[in-house]
Amino acid sequence: DLAAARRPRVGYAARVLVVIGLAGVSAVFVAEMLAGRLGSLGATATEQFLDTLFSGPIAGPMLPVALAFFVGAAVFAAPLIADAGPLRWPAVVLLVGTLLILAEIISSQVLLSQIGNFLVWGGSAALAWLLVRGEVGAPAAAGAGEALPAG
User: Cα–Cα distance between 10 and 82 in angstroms, integer?
Assistant: 13
80-100: string of b/e by CB count within 10 Å (b at 16+)? Answer: bbebeeebeebbebbbbbbbb
Does the pLDDT of residue 137 top 70, yes or no? no
pLDDT at residue number 151: 47
User: Cα–Cα distance between 2 and 12 in angstroms, integer?
Assistant: 10
Dump pLDDT digits (tens) for 93-112: 999 999 999 898 888 888 99
Which of 133, 137, 131, 95 is closest to 116 using CA atoms? Answer: 95
User: Cα–Cα distance between 71 and 59 in angstroms, integer?
Assistant: 18
Integer angstrom CA distances of residue 128 from 3, 6, 46: 14, 17, 40
Say whether pTM exceeds 0.85. Answer: no
Which of 62, 74, 78 is closest to 27 using CA atoms? Answer: 62
Dump pLDDT digits (tens) for 64-82: 888 888 998 898 888 888 8
Cβ–Cβ under 8 Å, residues 9 and 16: no
Under the banding of pLDDT at 50, 70 and 90, the label for residue 120 is very high
User: Cα–Cα distance between 20 and 23 in angstroms, integer?
Assistant: 6
User: Cα–Cα distance between 134 and 151 in angstroms, integer?
Assistant: 16
